[in-house]
Chains A and B, each alone.
Chain A
Amino acid sequence: MDKVKVTINDREYEVPAGTTVLDAARLANIDIPTLCYLREINEIGACRICLVEVSEGGKPFRMVTSCVYPVSDGMVIKTDSPKIQKARKLNLELLLSNHNMDCLSCIRSTNCELQKLCRDYGVTSSYFVGERTKAAKDESSPSIVRDNTKCILCRRCVAACHKVQAVGVIGAINRGFDTEIGCAFESKLADTPCINCGQCTVVCPTGALHERDDTDKVFEALADPSKFVAIITAPSVRATLGECFGYEPGTDVEGKMVAALKRMGFNGVYNMNLTADLTIIEEAHELIERIKNGGKLPMITSCSPGWIKFCEHFFPEFTENLSTCKSPQQMFGAILKTYFAQKNGLDPKDIFVVSAIPCTAKKFEVGREGEAASGYPDVDVAITTRELGRMIERCGIDFKSLPDEPFDQPFGVATGAGEIFGATGGVMEAALRTAAESILGHPLEKVEFPDVRGTAGIKRATYRLGDLEIKVAVVSGTANAKKLLERVKNGEEDLTFIEVMACPGGCVNGGGQPYQPPVVRNNVDLRAKRAAVLYEVDSKNKLRRSHENPVCKMLYDEFFGEPGSHKAHEILHTFYVKRGLYK
């Protein structure tokens, strides 16, 4: 690759030609601040916080936005001159002139990107005072809260919603001073085809878009002596919760997480990987049945509630392709309120099930029809990794000094196959392990399916199992799902089984996962780092096939009979609806 010489703050560097000034500075160990910039997703040079001074060909210095301006040979760059500092400060003051400075009570206080910049640049008071854009809070969605009084119009959420997810329900509306990020006809988010994936909340630099906080409901239940309060933690939460407490991305904190939950007073702390295994057993059975009996193919996975809603809104013709299996979260709640309740002489109304999940769409899923096997909702409250982090902090638990503790039995046993559910391709790999052994009638020598691993948006593979050929595809991010399904619709793809995860990279990059500052988000492959935790745990587990899970075996022996039984269908399966686009 061609290199060019540049001078950054009086020191010379050689950087690849075509690099942006922002990246060149990064190679020189300098982090230029950014607000609207999101690598490869939103590169629009709009916020003008990343301003630098450059001089090219001996011409006078001028200010450019470093995030989109490429270097040239001999360029002289100043990233922190008094003029630059003043310009950035002025831009921050202009942003604050139309900002609700409720920082003390803001959900993003201490991890707000605007707040940090104002601190870094010594913005001590509001320099420009005047009229502010009138904006109403939108709390219509069960998953996401919109508060435009805190919006800085950076459009990162718009890029996530349109480009990454192909949903496109929020965007800039109106003009000039009246510009705001909103929905068509100023409708409420709940009245649009929003899929609740929460990717907009992960990329929002301020408190303008955030998850609905359900933590008070959990504390209330914990304080109610008549309730048996159980918490189930999703596969990827152990791989990311540590980030809320300053651990490096890619740190497994399962033991400390369990220890914290036990100290918070949950009556049962359970491993959702168990019902990931159960999902696989049911789903692999369903797949084989569909193949044998000429059922609707390709079958498509159903564990991602964001994807399910996307399918119901945008591809209603594919709802019959969706596996009828409930998600692991819903299966777990259903088992606790049926099997577990009966076994322990509990009334299901006295069992309160909390799930800790990486996902904002799960907050919608708990209220779906067909998700109440006992007559009561399978799961009462779904809280995101971020909310769980805040709850632990509020309880004053010193997370880092906790010992490692194991999940409560009997619902603490899971296989490596359940573990990898949290990464794109994980559900496919787990299902292939079980389906292949069921079809072949003997154990696999190698349980790894490397073709479906990795963070690529669309992956394909073909496997020969005896005289059966299975063609699979794995997609993550609903924009990729849209691409693939359009090809399936046009007869350009011949597939047996598709895994779809709404969020790019799968649950490890879910809409409820911890925030990372721009310097991390733009320069570290969070998806791969977090997923590596899950594959590592899988590789060390003695049990690597879902059907080997002894607790699943027990559940079938004592309760369900066999996979796909009538009882299994009543408790572990659900249905879907065809939704229109706009109300």
Chain B
Amino acid sequence: MKKKLTAVDFRGTPEQEAKLLAVIEKYRGVKGAMMPILQEAQEIYGYLPPEVQKIIAEKTGTPLEEIYGIATFYSQFKLNPSGEVAISICLGTACYVKGAAAVLEEVSKQLGVEVGGISPDGRYSLEATRCVGACGLAPVMVINNEVYGKMTADQVASVLAKYKA
């Protein structure tokens, strides 16, 4: 699934930036350090905003394109933060066969958020995940660690209603 560029504004703090710079300093001179730098940057910020990628590019002398290439290649890296309401829908085999794609499409339609994206106000984020290990409940939707099993497209509206701001 192609990653979506983030739609929310950067809200990084000076404390986060100080942590990031310390991480970069820790790996100075270490070959092949871009993966751990990006992983730790994601731990600090929760995702890899463009502003953070630019800091890493500048401080490590790496072309920004290369960093963006890595960030979009590995599924572990997120270009978008999780929303206040973080929705993930399992597209593992069992869920998929039981119609998870239709649920995903319905959520995306109702919230106006693309898969892998976030609403501009930062409220809703939507992700498609691999098997979450609850195949007996397929198709499964998880919102902020709350599990909704045996979902159908018809039930989407009533579930989402609980999370209205």
Contact = CB atoms under 8 A, between A and B. Distances in A.
A162 B69 contact: no
Nearest to B79: A185
B65 A183 contact: yes
Contacts of A184: 53, 63-65, 67-68
A488 B67 CA distance: 28
Contacts of A192: 65
A485 interface: no
Contact of A185 (B50, B58, B73, B74): B50
A178 B69 CA distance: 12
A505 interface: no
Q: Which of the four size classes fits the interface of chain B?
A: 10 to 19
Contacts of B3: 174
B58 A581 contact: yes
A55 B53 CA distance: 47
Interface string B47-74: 0001001100110000111111100111
B54 A174 contact: no
Contacts of A582: 54, 64
B72 to A, nearest CB: 5
A279 to B, nearest CB: 32
B65 A175 contact: no
Contact of A174 (B53, B58, B63, B72): B72
B63 A175 contact: no
Contacts of B73: 172-175
Contacts of A182: 65
Contacts of B64: 168, 184, 581-582
A66 B54 CA distance: 39
B7 interface: no
Given A173-B68, A174-B72, 16 more contacts: A162-B63, A167-B63, A171-B63, A173-B65, A173-B69, A173-B72, A173-B73, A175-B75, A178-B2, A182-B65, A184-B53, A184-B65, A185-B50, A186-B5, A192-B65, A582-B54
A284 interface: no
Interface string A182-213: 11111000001000000000000000000000
Contacts of B2: 174, 178
A169 interface: yes
Given A185-B5, A185-B50, A170 B65 contact: yes
Contacts of A171: 63, 65-66, 69
12 contacts: A168-B63, A171-B66, A173-B68, A173-B69, A173-B72, A173-B73, A174-B3, A175-B75, A184-B53, A185-B68, A581-B58, A581-B64
Interface of B: 2-3, 5, 50, 53-54, 57-58, 63-69, 72-75
A163 to B, nearest CB: 11
A315 to B, nearest CB: 13
B65 A168 contact: yes
Interface of A: 162, 167-175, 178, 182-186, 192, 581-582
Contacts of A162: 63, 66
Contacts of A581: 57-58, 64
A581 B61 CA distance: 12
Contacts of B53: 184
Contacts of A175: 72-75
A465 B125 CA distance: 70
Nearest to B1: A178
A475 B111 CA distance: 56
A182 B63 CA distance: 13
A248 B2 CA distance: 46
Nearest to B5: A185
Contacts of A168: 63-66
A162 B66 CA distance: 9
Nearest to A177: B2
A173 B68 CA distance: 7
B107 to A, nearest CB: 22
A172 B63 CA distance: 12
Contact of A172 (B54, B58, B69): B69
Contacts of B57: 581
B72 A169 contact: no
A417 to B, nearest CB: 37
Nearest to A174: B72
Contacts of A172: 69, 73
Nearest to A178: B2
Nearest to B64: A184
Give the one of A170, A174, A183, A185 with max B CB within 10 A. Answer: A185
Contacts of B5: 185-186
Contacts of A185: 5, 50, 68
Contacts of A167: 63
A207 B3 CA distance: 27
Contacts of B74: 175
A169 B69 contact: no
A193 to B, nearest CB: 9
B54 to A, nearest CB: 7
Nearest 7 interchain pairs by C-beta: A168-B63, A184-B68, A184-B64, A178-B2, A171-B65, A184-B65, A174-B72
